[in-house]
Homo-oligomer: A and B are copies of this chain.
Amino acid sequence: MARRTIKAGRADDSALVADWRDISACYSSLRCDLDRELDDHHGLGMSEFEVLDRLVEAPAGECRMHTLGDAMYLSQSALSRVVARLEREGLLVRDMCADDRRSVRVRLTEAGADRHEKARPTQLAVLARHLREERQPAGDGPA
């Protein structure tokens, strides 16, 4: 039920609310599963994993705090602590960059890359479970 999500150009109030509830439900249940599975199987929270994820994508496995903050939708303080946790676990290192000593450069360690690699299948599985079945209730690939 309720699969109007992106349909509905009408946008009267109740459609708005209905859309919001769809988004909310989708996000919440996915987030909950993801958070729990990442934590159970890999000792990572969702935010932790996401930081690792961004770092893996980043040019040399490193980037500045502020850049992470822009990409991640998390308050500055929260990000600061997530990174602190990850550093405590040895999954990344923080050091201040030479050119601007206010900035902190965050760099993925081998252990971090490893942990991320191990965790990624879990993430993908959860995403697939939630997102795929939402969109294509049945049916497989093309001919």
User: A residues bordering B, Cβ < 8 Å?
Assistant: 5-6, 9, 11, 13, 16-17, 19-20, 23-31, 73, 123-124, 127-128, 131-132, 135-136
Contacts and interface: CB of A to CB of B under 8 A. Distances in A.
- Which of A9, A20, A28 is the most central at the interface, judged by chain B CB atoms within 10 Å of its CB? A20
A16 to B, nearest CB: 5
Contacts of A127: 16-17, 19-20
A125 to B, nearest CB: 10
A23 B20 contact: no
A74 B14 CA distance: 22
A23 B19 contact: no
18 contacts: A5-B6, A6-B135, A11-B135, A13-B124, A16-B131, A17-B124, A19-B127, A19-B131, A20-B30, A20-B127, A20-B131, A23-B23, A23-B26, A24-B27, A24-B31, A24-B73, A25-B73, A29-B73
